[in-house]
């Protein structure tokens, strides 16, 4: 019998230590170390391991016929888009999201659609009783769907039950943190139990051909809780995002071995469950505040889908020693870089102003193509100059102030033309890629300073806390004009 080995494992990141300590050195979290048996009951004695004979297996070449993996469409277009066309037989998916975001609602709807189409779908809940799952199904109008339910947490009992009769086409485990296996001696939810339970369910999926969906909890920073190795073990990782105050929900593909990554599906939370949104651009722009300073429409790409979304910026004078920077839906480091470029190369002085930035609709933008739209919204708010309501912006800003081209320019412009936009502000070097596109007036910019001067020349800047430093001694503003003439707040200091 192998000797039991005890160690202290971080329940947040999985790092192991020989002794207990208050703070995990790997992830920086406090009070997350728990004592676990890292050897477990599955350790094979050395005498048995030495008697095992090796097996010679055949090696294949790279050439040969490639067959597409058989898929099972769910009937929900947005879910099929994210998964790459449906669930692959024998695949395992990990779905994570904040509490109450709608993970159980989405999976209940998916299993109900498959069950109504004649497939065996099983929903196993480790957090709720069967009566609670039935109550949710009644609220969604899915009570008559032939979905098989169970409230169980033992992995061995679950696998034994699923192996009886016809192999299910889809199995939902809600959630993996509540599962436990008697092969290891640890409490449910610990790193060792989550890893062992996930491995057992993955082996069942590969052996039987059933598609298994594992629901995972998330930490306070949005990462899936538990050992990171589980994300490497599964075939796909889906993240269900959204704000509790917004009705929009975004299902994002973080990893997918059978389809594209960074693909998104858009849903709207209603009283009857999640409703698919086939045209997210029209939805995100449905409540635009036309003619207001500080708003710009960004033409972005999410996976293979072009999405138009409104970026909102508010620049207000501050009375604090350190101005505040508040960002929702965008990378705060990216905003800091854009502000630095505006001040260093365009003469836009924002050191005495609070900056608030928001992506309307609850969408989170990750691509750098939003730099140009964010800069336009910031300058528009500072100069009190509304941007054209029929214009879209996209382009990456470099640290030198140049505007660099981005990928899939034609797809962005086609989506903008389809929604009725008449002009586009894009990088100058991207003009050759869209020479054949008609229906949009293209305004190309090579540097950020030209765009800033154009916006500021049309505005009426509000008096800020440091505007007097750029005015004359008599209190009147300098009215010198030039090619890029702008209000004093936007002009570089030349002396």
Least confident of 124-138, 234-248, 253-267, 377-391: 234-248
126 φ/ψ angles, rounded to the nearest 5 degrees: -105, -5
Question: Given a cut of 70, is residue 37 above it in pLDDT?
Answer: no
User: What is d(CA 91, CA 259) in angstroms, rounded to the nearest whole number?
Assistant: 12
User: What is d(CA 172, CA 450) in angstroms, rounded to the nearest whole number?
Assistant: 54
Question: Given a cut of 60, is residue 465 above it in pLDDT?
Answer: no
pLDDT tens for each residue of 107-132: 999 999 999 999 999 999 999 999 99
Residue 50: its pLDDT value, please?
53
| 48-71 mean pLDDT | 74
Task: For the chain, give the number of residues.
Answer: 495
Residue 383: its pLDDT value, please?
92
**What Å distances lie between residue 162 and 56, 209, 211, 337, CA to CA?**
33, 12, 12, 53
In this structure, what token pair is assigned to residue 279?
């045209």
Mean pLDDT, the chain, as a whole number? 84
Q: Is 490 helix (H, G, I), strand (E, B) or coil?
A: helix
Residue 466: its pLDDT value, please?
47
Residue 38: its pLDDT value, please?
57
Between the ranges 15-19, 242-246, 419-423, where is the mean pLDDT highest?
419-423
Q: Do 394 and 423 form a contact (C-beta atoms < 8 A)?
A: no
Q: Name the residue with higher pLDDT: 355 or 100.
A: 355
User: What is d(CA 195, CA 205) in angstroms, rounded to the nearest whole number?
Assistant: 15
Question: Given a cut of 60, is residue 7 above it in pLDDT?
Answer: yes
Least confident of 278-292, 298-312, 454-468: 454-468
Q: Do 215 and 107 form a contact (C-beta atoms < 8 A)?
A: yes
pTM, entire model:
0.74
Residue 338: its pLDDT value, please?
95
Residue 32: its pLDDT value, please?
81
| 34-56 mean pLDDT | 60
Produce one character per residue of 345-374: b if its CB has 16 or more CB atoms within 10 Å, e if not: bbbbbbebbbbbbbbbbbbbbebbbbbbbb
CB count within 10 Å of CB 266 equals 28
**What Å distances lie between residue 278 and 255, 272, 481, CA to CA?**
22, 18, 49
**Residue written as token pair 């294949």:** 60
Q: Do 153 and 179 form a contact (C-beta atoms < 8 A)?
A: yes
Beta strands 170-174 and 211-216, pairing class: parallel
For the chain, give the percent of residues with pLDDT over 90. Answer: 48
Residue 495: its pLDDT value, please?
34
Q: Do 290 and 296 form a contact (C-beta atoms < 8 A)?
A: no
Residue 453: its pLDDT value, please?
92
């Amino acid at each position: 019998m192998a000797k039991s080995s005890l160690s202290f494992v971080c329940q947040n990141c999985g790092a192991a230590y020989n002794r207990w300590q208050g703070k995990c050195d790997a992830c920086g979290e406090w009070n997350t170390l728990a004592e676990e048996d890292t050897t477990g009951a599955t350790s094979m004695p050395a005498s048995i391991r030495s008697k095992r004979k090796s097996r010679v297996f055949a090696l294949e070449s790279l050439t040969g016929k490639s067959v597409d993996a058989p898929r099972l469409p769910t009937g929900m277009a947005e879910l099929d888009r994210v998964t790459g066309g449906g669930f692959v037989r024998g695949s395992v998916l990990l779905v994570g999201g904040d509490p109450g975001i709608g993970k159980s609602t989405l999976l209940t709807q998916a299993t109900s659609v498959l069950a109504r189409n004649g497939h065996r779908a099983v929903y196993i809940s480790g957090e709720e009783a069967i009566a609670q799952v039935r109550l949710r199904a009644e609220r969604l109008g899915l009570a008559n769907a032939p979905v098989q339910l169970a409230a169980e947490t033992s992995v061995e009992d679950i696998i034994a039950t699923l192996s009886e009769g016809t192999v299910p086409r889809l199995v939902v485990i809600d959630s993996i943190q509540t599962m436990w296996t008697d092969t290891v001696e640890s409490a449910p939810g610990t790193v060792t139990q989550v890893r062992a339970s996930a491995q057992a369910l993955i082996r069942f999926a590969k052996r039987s051909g059933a598609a298994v969906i594992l629901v995972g909890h998330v930490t306070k920073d949005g990462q899936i809780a538990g050992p990171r190795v589980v994300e490497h073990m599964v075939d796909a990782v889906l993240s269900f995002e959204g704000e509790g105050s917004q009705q929009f929900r975004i299902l994002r593909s973080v990893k997918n071995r059978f389809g594209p990554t960074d693909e998104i599906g858009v849903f709207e939370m209603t009283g009857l469950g999640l409703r698919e949104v086939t045209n997210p651009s029209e939805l995100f722009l449905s409540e635009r505040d036309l003619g207001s300073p500080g708003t710009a429409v960004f033409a972005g790409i999410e996976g293979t889908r072009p999405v138009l979304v409104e970026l909102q910026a508010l620049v207000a004078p501050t009375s604090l020693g350190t101005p505040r920077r508040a960002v929702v839906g965008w990378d705060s480091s990216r905003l800091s870089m854009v502000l630095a470029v505006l001040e260093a190369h365009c003469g836009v002085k924002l050191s005495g102003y609070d900056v608030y930035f928001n992506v309307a609709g609850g969408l989170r933008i990750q691509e750098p193509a939003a730099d140009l739209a964010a800069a336009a919204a910031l300058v528009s708010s500072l100069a009190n100059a509304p941007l054209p309501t029929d214009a879209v912006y996209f382009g990456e800003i470099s640290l030198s102030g140049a505007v660099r081209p981005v990928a899939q320019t034609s797809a962005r412009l086609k989506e903008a033309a389809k929604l009725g936009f008449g002009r586009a502000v894009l990088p100058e070097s991207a003009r050759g890629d869209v020479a054949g596109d008609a229906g949009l007036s293209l305004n190309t910019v090579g540097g950020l300073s030209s765009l800033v001067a154009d916006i500021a020349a049309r505005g009426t800047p509000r008096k800020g806390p440091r505007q007097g430093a750029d005015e004359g001694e008599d209190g009147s503003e300098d009215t010198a004009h030039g090619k890029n003439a702008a209000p004093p707040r936007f002009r570089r200091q030349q002396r």
